[in-house]
Structure 1
Amino acid sequence: MKEKWLLLSLIGFLISCSKQESMDALTARVFTVAEQQYLTMDTRLEVTTLPQSIASDSTFKSSTIYWWCSGFYPGSLWYIYEYTQNEAVKTLAEKNTLKLDPIQYVTNDHDVGFQLNCSYGNGFRLTGNEDYKKVLYQGAQSLATRFSSVTGVIRSWDFLRRGWKYPVIIDNMMNLELLMFASKAFDNDTLEYVARTHANTTLKNHFRKDYSSYHLVDYDPEDGHVRSRQTVQGYSNESSWGRGQAWALYGYTMMFRMTGDEKYLEHAENIADMLLSRLPVDGIPYWDFDAPNGNEYRDASAGAIMASAFVELSGFATDEKARQNYLSIAEKQLRTLASSHYLAEPGTNCNFILKHSVGNLPEKSEVDVPLSYADYYFLEALLRYKKAMG
């Protein structure tokens, strides 16, 4: 009798495990955690600081507004407000967005797009605040000053390590959305020209035959020829750094949305298909696909960025099988990130939402810690998935 009870209990347990949580329920669960974590997170901040990560001594680490990630916390607050309609969250989103006002005048850094589009961009989308729109336009004009008609790309960094003369990183694709938005909103063809030229030049020079991307291409500012191709934050120059592939997928999917140019869609799908053939079973990429001991670290941030891009790409792909493949891998990534292994318990993880991201492993910086952009793209991906499913 006891053996029969144990067998029935085991069968019941297995049946219950097979009942998968609905994506609506999963999304509600994640946003409940996000709301709790990010309302508390604000108490850790000062007038001019924003969340960055967890320090080596396991304490909360903040940044100034000039750190490249500064726009992600207010951006995440806007996403949480979009889902919850909690006015307290909206108030914090407004407060932390306004911290970034000086960024609109920055001309010595390409990350203006990240900083302003995530914060002011989402704020304008959700509120229609015209003051936000003006900041976005000024920021786009500042970003465009870093473009060279000789190289055909926006310069990423001004510091010249490793003999660089005009370094451009794949991350820079993400900043083009600010230029495209401002071009359309203010009827400025120059900003669109800068964005499209950068995307075209990057498409030509940043990718290998298998559609994986280098991290950095260094150009000669005098005649525009490629001096070298490197993967600075990955395992080796010829390896496929996980987050770099995510930036590429997201960037070209976004450029198709903003321009309707089919070559961007084709390129995004080629990148997507390459990733589908290389991602682990649970969908979360290794910090570098080619590192000998790559399974030592997964990168939740790369998984979140990819998930958001895959959802959007699924709405553009013309082939039904491809559409389903992209949406399926996005769902898998989101389910994995929403599991207890990655999703923090409220009150833990220094109030970040996700655990286990990798910033820059070669420099032993931000390894296996939470990162603000992992949270941002995770929330964005969940909202995109919800809209995609109606």
Structure 2
Amino acid sequence: MEILDTLPLDRTDPFEPPAVLKELQGALHPMTYADGRPGWLVTGYTEARAVLDDPRFSNSTQGGGGAPPIKELMPPEGLTDWVIPPGFFIAMDDPDHSRFRRLLTGHFSMRKMRRLEPRIQEIIDGQLEEMARGGAPADLVQAFALPVPSLVICELLGVPYGDRAHFQDTTARAVNLDNSAEQRGVAHAELMAYLSELVARKRAEPGEDLISELAAGGELAHDELTGVAALLLTAGHETTANMLSLGAFLLLCRPEQAELVRTDPGVAQTAVEELMRYLSITHIGPIRVARADVPLAGRTIKAGETVTISIPAVNRDETRFPDPDRFDVTRQAGAQLGFSHGIHQCLGQQLARLEMRLAYPALLRRFPGLRLAVPAGEVTLRPRATIYGVAALPVTW
């Protein structure tokens, strides 16, 4: 069996998985990671769900035989070398993971999202009006895709209005791949310092926001609550921003599909799931390490071996999604694994869905003549960033 010498990341088509993935036969493939360790790449849908469901696979990066930090395994382009803070529970196993997650689950329920919907719509509409005032052409990333989730997170965390411009600027510098790793590291440090100060303020003067409620509960130490805030910002900002921009790019290249999203209110929900499936921006991981020998796809994952799940491949598995290379916004793709699966399934997935469900139709209705301002082949991609997407998306109308 051929051993992959790296995780396939490079794409010849902005909307298609790396060609190497499409050539692989079977669901499990031996692979050598960037740091030299041997491991496995999972490309089958059923096998991916099995790994994500199995407590014999560790997600921890805190040592003791758990999953190594992603920067040790992958090519370094686009990755920042920063220490995972306390409270960043996405990198923990149970029982630590559950201790944090149970405190947050109720804050991301469907009921809470319905209460947030009018405010999120206001944020989207306001950003579209600001984009219109700025005139064409515009970079959709900077004018719309980045500000919307940033402002929503501000609303959720309780960032004061007077701080939001600084908060957005610091966040943008932290995730901007045009900046050096050192510059992004400085921005990360500034962001953590700001969040720490914000937590202290919320403890002293609580409001009606998530940080205040968690602080009032008294179950989290200061540094833990700061880490939780950092996780919510990281997971809920860059991923949604990249989906908004890359999804808009795809829709502008498929005008018949964009027209359905623009004109048919019932299509918005299925469109979000299909965009998540088809684009699969979480293209590095999830990553797990076997705690014991685990049989999978006719092979044995030995204790201590690292396993990476290729979401782009899994979401194009024809055994789960018939005609998987066809993009269809009316497809019922709710089983896609873009939000992962199992106990680490994305906590904020309903918030992300809501933002996208509101944002795509609003964008296409506000600018019915929206189109690319450059040839599609000139749009700059981010194939080696932790989250796949576009660096900029020049549009006009």
TM-score, scaled to structure 1 = 0.25
Instruction: Select the structure that is richer in helix.
Output: 1
Of the two structures, which has the highest relative contact order with CA contacts closer than 8 Å and spacing of 6 or more?
Answer: 2
Q: TM-score, normalised by structure 2?
A: 0.24
